[in-house]
Structure 1
Amino acid sequence: MQLPIRIIDGLYLGDQGAAHDLEFLVTNKITKIINCAAKHIPNHWESIGIQYLSYQWLESETQFQFDYTRCFTFINDALEAQEAVLVHSIRAINRSVFVVVLFLMRKFKWTLSKTLQYIHNLKNQFDIKPNVYQQLLNYEKWFHLTKLSNNWDVANNDDETLARNTYLNSQRTYSNEPKRKKEICLKKVQWKKNLVSQFIPPYYQIEFKKFSTPQPKIQHSQIPIKLRVQLSDNNWMNKKYTLNQIVDEQLQKKLNLFSIKSDRQPIKNIGRPGTAPSKRLLKGKVVTSSHRLLVKQS
């Protein structure tokens, strides 16, 4: 599907895809359609009120049977009522172009060459058959009863002025416009011609400097913890002890662990004075627990 082309305000040229596109028809307010290939393309939108003018033309025909006056009136009445018209065929390259060219020649009193220039500016792809082109020349001779315009200098009405300006703006050259300032760009790199190449010795002759790599400072948190293992005094494995001796040695070591040494001297029990001696009599002397010497009364 090719996009339809706006020839002038209210007149569109398209293929069968444009004729089937209801959204395009409604958006551009198209109320009339000229179907130039009615044998192959039916009139789809007659049920919604769109008027059709159908021509059952074939590409193989030598000459079209064409009612020029009826076609011109059909398009011109829609434009005067501020409505839009679509002229379409299957590919919009020969038959529909024939209808549009004849309408422009009659409405603006243009020559065939001027009209084809205008159409070619809007639509590059069209292929008018030789028999169709010959029929256009015949219509041009008939239009020559009145003076036809062959240049783009004069326009007779507003519609022609708009079409003329559209063509001239598309053909506009920018040679007369003031030159723009040169864009700022980076300088190109240029190499000097007299360059001295640097000698690179082989790898085994290159002496590399020795750099002392500083040792990283180790923080206290990063120092690994070493566990101290005390050597045990279990020499009984090397010595030949009996089982009872081994058990006694182990028990003695466990008791030594629980023994508490103190610098205080043990408190001795002091006996009451005047009590009976608790020790034996030694040669007339009595030794008591309190280390007192008592003389025997006579």
Structure 2
Amino acid sequence: MVENRPWANILAHLLLISGVALVAFPIYVALIASTHPAGSFVSGSMPLLPGGHFWENYTTVIQEGRSRAGTPPIGLMLWNSLLMALAITLGKLAVSLLSAFAIVYFRFRFRMVFFWLIFLTLMLPVEVRIVPTFQVVANLNLLNSFAGLSIPLIASATATFLFRQFFMTVPEEMLEAARVDGAGPFKFLKDILLPLSITNIAALFVIMFIYGWNQYLWPLLITTDQSYYTIVMGIQRMVTAADSEPLWHLVMATVILAALPPTLVILLMQRLFVKGLTETEK
């Protein structure tokens, strides 16, 4: 019999609420800061109540940007980040699906060797292989291009591993039935494996979109043309603007705008995202 302990429930809820408040507090501070004029931060104090300049600050950021910081309009940087994040996400999913499908369902020599070579790339993050990757991109004349921003980040050992593990749980009888019905490999992939993988794809889509959206080091290295700046680069340049103090109210307004697209992706795909992370039976 489960004992009813009200004090334990109250303590658990207090701890959970405290954890949520701790995580949400920086977002609250950024939102509050974006509603105040620039003079509110000269004294070094941080107001914790909303100000009266919400529409003014956001209109300034969206329509004018911050030309003194050497950044293009905010809308262009948000668009660049969106294109880059989508290209990385869709490319990772496509490459990972095909590579996992080939490793599981095709019998060729050294297929496990190729799998472990892919898996070992987890030990080599972008920061470690940044110099040779930059050299390859430069030799291919892909600097200052969306192809250069996205293609080097498309390969994903994590997604390949997860798709491989899932494909190995699909009963062999389904493959045999597809063969009897005359289905080829790609029809089997399209009509059977992809519908079964929808929750995995949704979960990986959210994770990879946020990964692509938050990229900073790689775009900073290969981009010198302002028309290819991403929103994360724009925030950094606004903070480190030369010959002037950062306009923190505009910086925080830009931060809030930059957080909206990944937040919307999470909210729209929340159910599939949670299901893809927790579901064990397909």
- Normalized against structure 2, the TM-score is what? 0.19
- Normalized against structure 1, the TM-score is what? 0.19
Q: Comparing both structures, which one devotes a greater share of its residues to strand?
A: 1
Q: Whose RCO is larger (CA < 8 A, sep 6+)?
A: 2
Q: Comparing both structures, which one devotes a greater share of its residues to helix?
A: 2
